[in-house]
Amino acid sequence: MISTELLHVLEILGTIAFAISGALVAIKAELDIFGVVFIGGITAVGGGVVRDLLIGQIPPAIFSNLPIILIALLTSVFVFIIAYVQRRHFDRLSLKIEQINNLFDAVGLAAFSVMGTEVSFVRGFSDNLFFSVMLGMLTGVGGGIFRDILTDTTPYILKKHIYALASIFGSLLYCILRQNTDDLILATMLSLVSVVAIRMLATKFLWSLPKIRLEETDNEK
């Protein structure tokens, strides 16, 4: 039973965090209230939809989980109201808002990465380490990919600091701990903290994977 309760807590935590993150991105993209609520909602539930499709659950669980949908939508509305009230100061507070967005994005990524990995254990895929880790990662990053595509930006995971790797590490750590300890709370907390810590350190120290900057090669000619 603790497994079911833990999944529920992670789902609520990730939903709120990603709804805030998605709504903030939509506000910066100057979308109307429907756009903000829609982007906040899809950011919050998109990863779970991808996860359920991969494990063959049709329709995805979110379509029969009204409380989670309401949490995502109401959180997005709340963010819109706060931003509307503070709209005169929104640009001035852009750096602070970006930091807040990064924090909530990291928390959402951590919660859904662990949740997706736990679902693989609950559904009997624990013997397939690769699938379990990928399921955790896709649950964590799926909503963000939808968010970025819908706001006409290159998906965050493909260009910004260490993102998908943080999710992969947290999912892998959870798999290892889950298979070697009976303390599910400890496994969850260590995995959550690892993802958030990696994301925050990557943001602070600008850690990024190697990439080719074409303008630099053009200047060398």
220 within domain boundaries = no
Question: What DSSP line would sit under 66-106, residue for residue?
Answer: HHHHHHHHHHHHHHHHHHHHTGGGTTTTHHHHHHHHHHHHH
101 within domain boundaries = yes
Q: Taking the model in full, what pTM does it have? A: 0.88
Determine the average pLDDT of the residues in 188-209: 91
Question: What DSSP line would sit under 39-51, residue for residue?
Answer: HHHHHHHHHHHHH
- Distance CA(139)–CA(155), nearest Å, equals 15
144 within domain boundaries = yes
- Segments forming the whole domain that contains residue 121: 2-205
96 within domain boundaries = yes
C-alpha of 50 from chain center = 12
Return all residues near 64 (Cβ < 8 A) that are at least 6 apart. Answer: none
- Distance CA(204)–CA(155), nearest Å, equals 20
The answer to whether the CB of 116 falls within 8 A of the CB of 10 is no
Sorting pLDDT into bands at 50, 70 and 90, what band is 23?
Answer: very high
For the four alpha carbons of 90, 156, 187 and 66, in that order, the dihedral sign comes to: positive
33 within domain boundaries = yes
Greater pLDDT, 200 or 94: 200
- Distance CA(76)–CA(37), nearest Å, equals 5
The answer to whether the CB of 79 falls within 8 A of the CB of 27 is yes
Give how many domains the chain has, as a whole number: 1
State yes or no: pLDDT of 1 exceeds 50: no
Greater pLDDT, 219 or 215: 215
Q: Which of 106-110, 114-118, 151-155, 188-192 has the least mean pLDDT?
A: 151-155
* Amino acid, single-letter form, for residue 99: Q
User: Would you state the pLDDT for residue 154?
Assistant: 85
211 within domain boundaries = no
Whole-number mean pLDDT of the chain? 89
217 within domain boundaries = no
C-alpha of 38 from chain center = 16
190 within domain boundaries = yes
- Distance CA(71)–CA(164), nearest Å, equals 25
State yes or no: pLDDT of 135 exceeds 90: yes
Q: Say what percent of the chain tops pLDDT 70.
A: 94
